[in-house]
Amino acid sequence: MKRVALIVLLTLGPTSLLAQDRSIPTKLAGPTRASLQRLIDSAGVAGLPVDPLYSKAQEGVFRGADDARVLAAVQRLARDLGDARATLGDSASAEEITAGANALRAGVATIDLSRLRETRAKGRHADQRLTVALVVLADLATRGVPPSLAAASVTELVARNVPDGALISFRQTVERDLLDGRSPASALDARTRAFIDDAERRRP
């Protein structure tokens, strides 16, 4: 019987091991935990992804933040997730909503997110998710590139049907230019043009 139990554990182990832990850290005070649970439950009822909210609370405890700060961070994230979902539409995946919320947090305007979504919907890769483009956009804005410029560049690349893999390379080259001391606007402009030229050359 022990052998049978072992086989079952080995069979189920790899998948169950990776399940997202949806628990609020017990280090937080009871009232804080109750407030967080209500907030997360409301977000879930509203159709927002809740895993990032649990993760935010867990991160806050790991980093030694006090209860008020953890609660404020989770509230802010829930608000951003709601705004991102409203902007990206009901069909957006949990990852798109989370990445969209992160882009909003980085300073990207909701109108720019809407434009990016519409551009992708009209393009050759309309069936693909927008997650990578949103992650690249948030990263550029976080690194000091003016959010409106970053949004314009990423939207332009998406409009030229630049694939996700090339968007990742685009982010890396801009990052390298920034590390080399180039100004964000100049680095972005030069790299955007280079990637558009490349996309045009590869056009069938």
Partner 1 sequence: MSEPDNPRWLDQVSEELREEVPVRAVWRTRLLAEIASAPRPGADDPDVRFEDSSDTIESKDAVELSRGSVWARRIVLHPFAGLAAALAFAAIGAGAMYVMMARGGADATGAKNAGLASSTTDPGGASIPAADVTADQSVVRFELSAPSATRVALVGSFNRWNPTATPLARDPATGKWTVSLRLPAGRHVYAFVVDGDVTADPAAPRAADADFGSANSVVLVSGRSS
Interface residues toward partner 1, by CB under 8 A: 4, 7-8, 10-11, 14-15, 18, 20-21, 23, 51-52, 55-56, 58-65, 69, 72-73, 76-77, 93-95, 98-99, 102-103, 105-107, 129, 131-132, 135-136, 138-139, 141-143, 164-165, 168-169, 171-172
Find the helix packing angle between 51-62 and 67-88, rounded to 10°.
150
- The nearest distance, CB 12 to partner 1, in angstroms, is 8
**Of 15 and 200, CB closest to partner 1:** 15
Q: How far is the CB of 135 from partner 1 (least distance, A)?
A: 5
Q: Which is nearer to partner 1, 114 or 142 (CB)?
A: 142
Nearer to partner 1, 56 or 117 (CB): 56
Shortest Cβ distance from residue 40 to partner 1 (Å)?
14
